[in-house]
């Protein structure tokens, strides 16, 4: 495998959290009195930074409503949603294996820094990643700045890196940064949608990705 750096999206890629995100966003919208939205609409914005996601779902939202929505969504995601969230099968094994091979591992996510740090601490996975970058620290996907910052900080050339994600935002970000990408079909965006962004491969499980990276 020629990639020195593997950059993972979090939600829908390593973590089976799509259902919890949908539930948390819909709960927050009802609390603020915004129009109801479908599961599919929420799935489509997973991967964007939270303010960008909310504005995409409710373009006419007022500034004071946006602030309430952000707080309500975060609270629902951490405390109130009853939808289970866990790592996808094979996630921990994949990360441990790649790290043992000397690969650099990173996270590029639409989550907030506070949210990602909480999850990494709860799962005791922070030591697997040499760097993480969150949407509230830089520009939201699909802008390539997040990925370019990771490459620059690690002094890794774009052709030496691979982006792994479950949405077109991940794959389009990678393309804009000159980085190869692969898609995961078990997340937010459907496989036929992912192919439009021209990943090198699409995998249906982390075990499949693991095998491919080992070739």
Give Cα 165 distance to the centre of its chain.
Answer: 7
User: What CATH number is attached to the domain comprising 194?
Assistant: 3.40.50.1000
pLDDT at residue 47 above 90? no
Q: Are residues 106 and 166 in the same domain?
A: yes
Q: Are residues 90 and 71 in the same domain?
A: no
Does an H or E element contain 153, and which?
helix 145-154
Q: Are residues 102 and 172 in the same domain?
A: yes
Domain housing 90: 5-16+86-213
pLDDT at residue 1 above 80? no
Q: Which of residues 80, 112, 132 is at a domain's end?
A: 80
Instruction: Report DSSP state, residue 106.
Output: E
- The arithmetic mean of pLDDT across residues 113-141, rounded, is 94
Residue (of 135, 150, 108) closest to 49 by Cα position: 135
pLDDT value at residue 186: 93
Question: Helix, strand, coil % (nearest 5) of the chain?
Answer: 50, 15, 35
- The arithmetic mean of pLDDT across residues 85-96, rounded, is 95
- The arithmetic mean of pLDDT across residues 75-91, rounded, is 90
- 155-166 pLDDT, tens digit per residue, is 999 999 999 999
Q: Are residues 75 and 168 in the same domain?
A: no
Tell me the pLDDT band of 10, cut-offs 50, 70 and 90.
very high
What string of DSSP letters covers 12-53? TTTEE-HHHHHHHHHHHHHHHTPPP--HHHHHHHBTB-HHHH
pLDDT at residue 53 above 80? yes
- The arithmetic mean of pLDDT across residues 83-104, rounded, is 95
Q: Are residues 144 and 109 in the same domain?
A: yes
């Amino acid at each position: 495998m020629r990639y020195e750096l593997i950059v993972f999206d979090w939600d829908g890629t390593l973590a089976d959290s799509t259902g919890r995100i949908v539930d948390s966003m819909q709960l927050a919208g009802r609390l603020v009195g915004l129009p109801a939205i479908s599961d599919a609409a929420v799935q489509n914005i997973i991967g964007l930074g939270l303010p960008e996601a909310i504005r995409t779902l409710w373009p006419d939202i007022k500034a004071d409503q946006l602030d309430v929505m952000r707080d309500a969504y975060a609270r629902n995601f951490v405390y109130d949603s009853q939808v289970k969230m866990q790592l996808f099968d094979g996630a921990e094994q994949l990360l441990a294996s790649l790290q043992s091979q000397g690969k650099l591992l990173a996270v590029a996510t639409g989550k907030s820094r506070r949210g990602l740090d909480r999850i990494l601490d709860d799962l005791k996975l922070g030591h697997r990643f040499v760097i993480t970058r969150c949407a509230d620290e830089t520009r939201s996907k699909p802008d390539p700045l997040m990925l370019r910052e990771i490459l620059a900080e690690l002094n890794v050339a774009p052709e030496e890196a691979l982006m792994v994600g479950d949405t077109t935002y991940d794959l389009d970000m990678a393309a804009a940064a000159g980085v190869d990408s692969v898609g995961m079909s078990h997340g937010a965006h459907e496989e036929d949608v992912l192919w439009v962004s021209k990943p090198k491969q699409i995998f249906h499980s982390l075990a499949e990705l693991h095998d491919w990276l080992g070739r």
